[in-house]
Structure 1
Amino acid sequence: MKAFLSAALFLPGFVLPALAAEPSTLIGERRARVEWAKAENRKDCAPLALAASSQPEGAPRSAYFGGGWGVAFDLPDQRSAYGFAGTGLLPDDDADVAVQRDRLYRQWPYFRDLAQFPGASFAGYGQEGAEPYPAANREGVALQSLAYMRIAGQRCTYNVWSRISRAHLEWMLDNLRVVTD
């Protein structure tokens, strides 16, 4: 085999076979794992991370969420520009999925299903305070965008935020993944 590989390396178009690939690291995964391991809600609220780097790309740090965990991303000129958190558990978190869906649908001006997660996973979102974006700034540029997100199989309501734009928040909703062992 060694002789074959040595000779094959000089053949035009030869590509080495894939060897054991290193596991990919999600963006913010290490910080999420650290914060999640300290959280009271860790049995009911799995950690999350981003599947791809954000534009602009921030530096992850811990964010306090009483009873839960959080990861905030700081930009050079903006602290907590965006992030996500598994909040401490609330009494409403035990409600049936249909009740949760209806609650978020009625509470927030925008709503979307989250196909990257299993089962009934969804988010309600808008400008902080569950407000629609103003007519003069429908893209929510530089406004505090916030989403409440439910993931099938998890008991908590996740918070996802962006001070960059509505499109950035929607990008985050589509790129969040559950961190697995």
Structure 2
Amino acid sequence: MFTLALCCTALAACDAATDAAQTGTEAPDTPQAPISPPPHVDPDALDAPAPEPLAVDLTRNEWKTAANHGECSPLVLTSDGGVPAEARRANFSGGWAVAFDTEEVRSAYGVAGPGIIDADRADGQASRLKNQWPHFVELSDLPQPAFAGYGLEGAKPYRDEVPDGVGDNSLAYIRVGGQACTYNVWSRLGRAHLEVLLQSLRLGATE
């Protein structure tokens, strides 16, 4: 009987250990206080400042004189993708454009609001761009729905021999919620550069 009692006691201890291992540590009876930032960190400094638009005055001036300005707001870049350049006006039929020239490459990148065509007014713009372009991305920092289809000019995929697209003309078609036109953004500096430009897009000032 004594031996049997010892065995039962040992088995009970093993079962208890197994249960503890399976269930883990019990939650405390009272909620834990939230973790505060270190005392040397200003909580207000944790919010990143709003990005600064590029060529905002030039973009606004070009947009104001465009035939489509009543249906499409100006669209601006807030990053140069690490490639500073000189902004200038560029010609786009029925719309407006701002090109950026580096010392080595004229029209190295840019943004445009082309004239509106019938296809711009049709339903299913996301499907249109997904079917037209080899790559598609949603743009969460613009009024929704906002998205872009992109690739090489002519809606072609990037070439196997130059997969990064450097030296080729990368082009994107962009749709922004509440806007009638299909914006363009381009870069001759590669696919990665174009993708940075796309994520930096914001609606520009109209006054």
What's the % identity of the aligned pairs?
A: 47
Runs ≥4 in structure 1, deviation > 6 angstroms? Answer: none
Partner of 1:164: 189
Structure having the higher Rg? 2
Distance 1:25 1:161 in 2: 20
Among 112, 116, 125, the alignment partner of 1:89 is 116
How far is 1:54 from its partner?
A: 3.2
How far is 1:52 from its partner?
A: 2.8
Residue 205 of structure 2 is aligned to residue 176 of structure 1? no
Amino acid at match of 1:155: A
Asked whether the equivalents of residues 143 and 163 of structure 1 are also in contact (C-alpha less than 8 Å), the reply is yes
Partner of 2:68: 41
Partner of 1:138: 163
Q: Which runs of 5+ in 2 are unaligned?
A: 1-49
Distance 2:196 2:127 in 1: 23
SS at match of 1:168: helix
Asked whether the equivalents of residues 80 and 197 of structure 2 are also in contact (C-alpha less than 8 Å), the reply is no
Q: TM-score, normalised by structure 1?
A: 0.83
Alignment deviations for residues 34-61 of structure 1 (CA, whole Å, 9 cap, x no partner): 1001100001111111223432111000
Distance 2:62 2:130 in 1: 29
Matches within 5 A, 1:70-149: 70-96=97-123, 99-149=124-174
SS at match of 2:61: helix
Amino acid at match of 1:177: R
Distance 2:75 2:60 in 1: 8
Distance 2:60 2:182 in 1: 18
Partner of 1:60: 87
Higher strand share: 1
